[in-house]
Amino acid sequence: AKRNGRSSLSFFDPTMQAELLSRVRLENELREAQANDEWRLYYQPQVDQAGRCIGVEGLLRWQHPERGLVSPGVFIPLLETTELINPVGDWVLETACRQLAQWAHHPAFAELSVAVNVSPLQFRQVDFVAKVEAILQRTQAPCHKLKLEVTESLFLEERDDARDKMLRLKQKGVRFSLDDFGTGYSSLAYLAHLPLDQLKIDQSFVQQVIHSKANAAIVESTIALAQSLSLEVIAEGVERDDQQAWLLTHGCRTYQGYRYGRPMPLDALEAMLSAESTI
Ligand code: C2E
Ligand code: CA
Ligand code: CA
Ligand code: CA
């Protein structure tokens, strides 16, 4: 975002040129990441009120040969401007579904759901539904264990198209969670119109819930809204026991956050879940 404000600077400004060069280099490296097998899917636990892991969110990482493990905040925006988000998004879906298919045969993991983030651009592809169906078919993943996390921005335009795509996927059993709820600017009207299964309370509200009355009020209203619309509700960014206790008191019974585990590679997740029945 910093770069945008600078467009009036001379093209020959040396710092800007350096930024431009590194951006072009980053873009080229991102193009090669797939071929070089540099994408990783990390998994963060989602737990119920007893601390049992009921699912995971898959979060993308870039294992860069020199830079090391790169977080998505750095590269997702660039993937979105270059439309590379589509092939990378396919990789994420395919990886998550393969994992679901493997876990299906494993008593300790068979009940886990896997949530993946879907960028609005990715969702807007005309063949998005067909792609997801093909991946489900190819991997033989249990469809009802796949959850797609979408954001409000998706519903600003082409709401009917979004609804239609969601309904087609829901027929297969795929579920939908509304990520970052409350951080957008859209009205709540779309909630009645869309076949959602879950609201995900954004971590910015959760982290202030103890110390800010305003944030507490927002979280309380979100939980009440979810209940009256018969939607599940999950709180993300739960870091401490007092936050979890507050959420439970106010009716939110599913949690995700550092309190239970950071996003981790598959082997670490499986080791953690094999060692303890609750987190
Ligand atoms: P998000 O979907 O809102 O994911 C939650 C982010 O919060 C993750 O950051 C997670 O590591 C972090 N987080 C989880 N629990 C806590 C906590 O208790 N405290 C704090 N401070 N942070 C916590 P991450 O993995 O860096 O991902 C950042 C964003 O990148 C995601 O936000 C999502 O919007 C995007 N992203 C990640 N993977 C993908 C992907 O496969 N596709 C797309 N389109 N976007 C992705
Ligand atoms: Ca998410
Ligand atoms: Ca989120
Ligand atoms: Ca977020």
166 and 118 in contact (C-beta within 8 Å)? no
Residues 175 and 252: their CA atoms lie apart, in Å, by 19
Q: Average pLDDT, whole number, for the chain?
A: 92
1 or 102, greater pLDDT:
102
Q: Is 81 exposed, middle or buried (0-12, 13-18, 19+ CB in 10 A)?
A: exposed
**Ion ligand 2, residues whose Cβ is below 5 A away:** 117, 149, 179
Nearest to 179 by CA among 234, 246, 130, 126: 234
Residues 187 and 77: their CA atoms lie apart, in Å, by 25
Q: Work out the widest C-alpha separation in the chain, in whole angstroms.
A: 62
Q: Is 5 exposed, middle or buried (0-12, 13-18, 19+ CB in 10 A)?
A: exposed
Q: Give the mutation target among 81, 94, 97, 117 for probing the ligand 1 site: most ligand atoms within 8 A of CB.
A: 117
At residue 13 the predicted structure's pLDDT band, cuts being 50, 70 and 90, is confident
Please tell me the distance between residue 165's alpha carbon and the centre of ligand 3 in angstroms.
Answer: 22
For the stretch 140-153, pLDDT in tens is: 999 999 999 999 88
For the stretch 194-219, pLDDT in tens is: 899 999 999 999 999 999 999 999 99
Quick one: average pLDDT of 10-15?
68
ipTM: 0.98
Q: What are the structure tokens assigned to 116, written together?
A: 């993946």
129 and 169 in contact (C-beta within 8 Å)? yes
The yes-or-no verdict on residue 20 having pLDDT over 90 is no
Ligand 1 atom 11: residue of nearest CA: 263
Any idea which ligand is nearest the CA of 47?
1
For the stretch 50-92, pLDDT in tens is: 999 999 999 999 999 988 999 999 899 999 998 899 999 999 9
pLDDT for the residue 240: 97
φ/ψ (deg, to 5) at 64: -85, 140
The yes-or-no verdict on residue 37 having pLDDT over 80 is yes
Any idea which ligand is nearest the CA of 123?
1
Please tell me the distance between residue 11's alpha carbon and the centre of ligand 4 in angstroms.
Answer: 34
Quick one: average pLDDT of 46-53?
97
For the stretch 238-270, pLDDT in tens is: 999 999 999 999 999 999 999 999 999 999 999
Give the strand pairing for 175-181 and 146-150.
Answer: parallel
Residues 89 and 87: their CA atoms lie apart, in Å, by 5
What global pTM score does this model have? 0.93
Quick one: average pLDDT of 224-241?
96
For the stretch 79-131, pLDDT in tens is: 999 889 999 999 999 999 999 999 999 999 999 999 999 999 999 999 999 99
252-266: b (≥16 Cβ within 10 Å) or e: bebbbbebbbebbeb
The yes-or-no verdict on residue 5 having pLDDT over 70 is no
For the chain, percent of residues with pLDDT exceeding 90: 78
Q: Give the mutation target among 43, 44, 47, 59 for probing the ligand 1 site: most ligand atoms within 8 A of CB.
A: 59
Ligand 1 atom nearest residue 263's Cα: 11
Residues 171 and 269: their CA atoms lie apart, in Å, by 30
